[in-house]
Every structure is written in C-alpha cells, then in structure tokens.
C-alpha cells in the first residue's frame, strides 16, 4: 500500500471529505436523491437495520480488500478518509440537523429544493476537490477503474465511460432491490460530477502554472 506524504494535499483531501459528509447529510434529509454509492449503501443499511456509517465502513472494507489485491497504487490517505469518515459525518450531521432545523425545511417544496440545490453543488464541488487532490480513490471508485483496465485490455472498443455508467447502474439496481427509490439527485450527480471534476482540475493546473511563473 503506497501512501503519499504531502501535507497540503492531505489537508485539502481531509477538508473535502468533511465537506462531502456535511453536504451529504442535507441531501439525505431532503430525500431528493444522492450519489449511486450512497443510495445503495443507505438502502442496504435501512433494510438490515444498521446505521449508514457502520454499513458503509463494512462494505468499504470489503471493496478495499479487492482493490489492495488487484491495484494497490490506487490507495492513499484519501481512500482511508473517504471510506471511514463520510458515512459517520453524514450520520452525525443528520442527527444534529434533525435536532436543530425545523422538519418543514426538508419537506416544504421551496426550502427543500433550495437546500437541495445548494448542497448538491457543495457535494459535487467537494467531491471534485477530493478526487483532484490525488491522494487515493475511494474503494467504490477504485473497482470500476480496475474493471475498466481489465475489460478494455480485451475489448478496447468499449468506452471507459460506459463501464463507469454500468457500475453506477449496478449500484442503483442493488439499492432498488433493497427498497430504495432512485430519484432526481442521482441523475444530477451523474450529469454534473464529471464536468465539475474537470473544471476543478483545470483551475488547479492554472494556479500551479502561475506559481511556476
């Protein structure tokens, strides 16, 4: 397992993971959809009667074991932060906001959609920053990377995007089987996360180029 010791990147990665957990709690409370991995894990956790944080940690450990066996270079501090912290951050903030914010904020159409829009943007931006920190990928994201390498080696005509979409589709299918209902947030996440990652990467590249000058 290879860990990169870059203090600045580790801090950025940690803060991005915190942001993902914080914004994810609002998305959960608004109940208008989350990313496919969260949708799957929340559906399974609710079905078996376990907290989201505990189940997400368990399934992440299983997926991490596979990633370590097949491609250890994908693992870093970001992997650990993601798999351990996001679920528990979301659980904590969901508990806190249920205690401090009126329930109507998450059920009445106007505030519900406003909160959803703002926090969806915050979650996507945090996820983009996390990925571009280049401190390791989450176990959920590591597996489609490995699958893409294996599949395209034998069938190079298959676009990597198709494999990723199939992977997310599988997660959504699992969540649906366990009682979840896929709604608009999953579609918006799929549409905007990729462009957001690209934009953050371009901004980061420009800032690094300016520093060199």
Distance CA 103, CA 16 (A): 27
CA neighbor of 71 nearest in space, from 137, 170, 169, 13: 137
Range of the domain at 168: 7-205
Q: What is the pLDDT of residues 141-172, one digit of tens each?
A: 889 889 988 998 888 888 887 888 888 889 99
Is 212 a domain residue? no
Residues 25 and 176: beta-carbon distance below 8 Å: no
Sign of CA dihedral 180, 194, 163, 150: negative
Question: What 8-state DSSP symbol labels residue 193?
Answer: H
> Residue 18: what pLDDT?
95
**Average pLDDT score over residue span 72-94:** 90
Is 112 a domain residue? yes
> Residue 5: what pLDDT?
53
Using DSSP's 3-state secondary structure scheme, residue 138 falls into coil
**Average pLDDT score over residue span 119-144:** 86
Is 210 a domain residue? no
**Has residue 109 got a pLDDT over 60?**
yes
Is 87 a domain residue? yes
Is 11 a domain residue? yes
Distances from the Cα of 77 to the Cα of 12, 60, 61, 67, 70, angstroms = 11, 14, 14, 14, 18
Distance CA 21, CA 94 (A): 10
Task: Give the pLDDT band (50/70/90) at residue 179.
Answer: very high
Q: How many domains does the chain have?
A: 1
Is 146 a domain residue? yes
**Has residue 123 got a pLDDT over 80?**
yes
Q: What is the pTM of this model?
A: 0.81
The overall average pLDDT reported for the chain is 86
The residue among 194 and 2 whose pLDDT is bigger is 194
Is 137 a domain residue? yes
């Amino acid at each position: 397992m290879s860990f990169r010791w870059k203090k600045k990147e580790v801090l950025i990665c940690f803060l991005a993971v915190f942001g993902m957990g914080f914004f994810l709690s609002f998305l959960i409370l608004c109940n208008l959809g989350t990313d496919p991995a969260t949708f799957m894990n929340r559906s399974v956790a609710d079905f078996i009667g376990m907290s989201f944080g505990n189940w997400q940690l368990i399934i992440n450990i299983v997926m991490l074991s596979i990633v370590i066996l097949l491609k250890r270079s994908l693992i870093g501090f970001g992997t650990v932060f993601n798999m351990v912290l996001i679920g528990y951050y979301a659980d904590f903030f969901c508990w806190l906001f249920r205690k401090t914010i009126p329930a109507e904020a998450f059920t009445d159409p106007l505030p519900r959609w406003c909160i959803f829009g703002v926090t969806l943007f915050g979650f996507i931006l945090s996820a983009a920053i996390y990925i571009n920190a280049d401190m390791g990928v989450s176990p959920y994201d590591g597996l489609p990377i490995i699958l893409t390498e294996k599949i395209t080696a034998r069938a190079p005509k298959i676009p990597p995007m198709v494999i990723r979409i199939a992977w997310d589709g599988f997660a959504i299918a699992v969540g649906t089987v366990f009682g979840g209902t896929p709604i608009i947030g999953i579609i918006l996440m799929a549409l905007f996360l990729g462009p957001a990652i690209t934009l953050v990467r371009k901004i980061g590249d420009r800032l690094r180029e300016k520093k060199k000058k």
